[in-house]
Structure formats: structure tokens, C-alpha cells
Amino acid sequence: MSIRMHSLQKITELKNKLTQQASVEYSESLRHLEDERTRLQELLHAQDRSIADLHERTQSGVPSQELYDWTLYMLSQRQQIERQLQVIEHKQSVCQDKRGELTDRYIDEKKWNKLKERRQLEQEALLNKLAQEALDEIAVTGYSRVKG
């Protein structure tokens, strides 16, 4: 079964578009991962500021209710950080999946491009062979006329 050149051209164009789409999706997943890492850094800085504030307030004496409120607040910050770490872990997994998909599509595209190139070379070789046979035929018939 031979695939026509026109069909190969369409297939390679489609494979190229799929590779480009996978590349965009991978880039977007990396951007989302970086956004989540930035969010984590913001949470960590907020927690550091809260710890410094708490330390400063405890130096000047703090009522027990306020200390309890600070403890609850810092606990909620810690929970946010833990949730953000889970989000980052998920985004990393998505990035790995998208990278694998991009790699697979790239390899698939290259296979189809190589097949197309082989077909083009085969077609050129066939055309060259036919042209040479036609030239040989012309040369033989021309030689026969001159001789005979």
C-alpha cells in the first residue's frame, strides 16, 4: 500500500500542527507551574512576616486571646502552604505529562517527514529513470536513422 504524495503532505502538515499545539500546551503548563511556585513564595514570605510580627508582639507582652488568635492564623497559613505544595506537585505532574506528549508528537512528526522525504526521493528517482529511458530511446532511434 502506497500513500500518495498529496496525502503525505497533508499528514505531515497535520503532524506539524499537532506538535505545535503540544508545544504550546507544554509552555502553558510550565507557566502555570511557575505561577504556583510564585504563589508559594508569597505564602512563605507572608508566614515569615507573621512570625516576625508575633515575635515582636510577644516581646512587649501579649494577652493570651491575642496569642491564641495568632496561633490560629499561623496554623491557617501553614495549611495554605501545604495545599500550595500539593498544587505544585500536581502542576509538576501535568508538566511531565505535557512534555511526554510533546516528545511523542515530535517523534511521530519526524517519522512522517522522513517517510515523505523517502517518497520524494523515490519519485525523483523514478522520474529520472523514465527521463533517462526516454533519452536512451531517442538516442537509439536517432542512431538507427542515421545508420540505416
CATH of the domain at 95: 1.10.287.1700
**Domain-located, residue 122:** no
8 A C-beta contact, residue 27 and residue 120: no
**Domain-located, residue 41:** yes
- Number of domain units in the chain: 1
**Domain-located, residue 83:** yes
Whole-number pLDDT of residue 143:
66
C-alpha cell at 54: 508575633
Q: What is the pLDDT of residues 41-82, one digit of tens each?
A: 999 999 999 999 988 888 888 888 988 998 999 999 999 999
**Domain-located, residue 123:** no
Please give the Cα distance from 143 to 98 (Å, whole number): 66
**Domain-located, residue 120:** no
Going by C-beta distance under 8 Å and a sequence separation of 6 or more, which residues neighbour residue 112? 8, 11, 12, 15
**Domain-located, residue 133:** no
**Domain-located, residue 92:** yes
Tell me the residue range of the domain where 73 lies: 5-115
**Domain-located, residue 24:** yes
Q: What is the pLDDT of residues 87-132, one digit of tens each?
A: 999 999 999 999 999 999 999 999 999 999 999 999 999 999 999 9
Give the pTM.
0.76
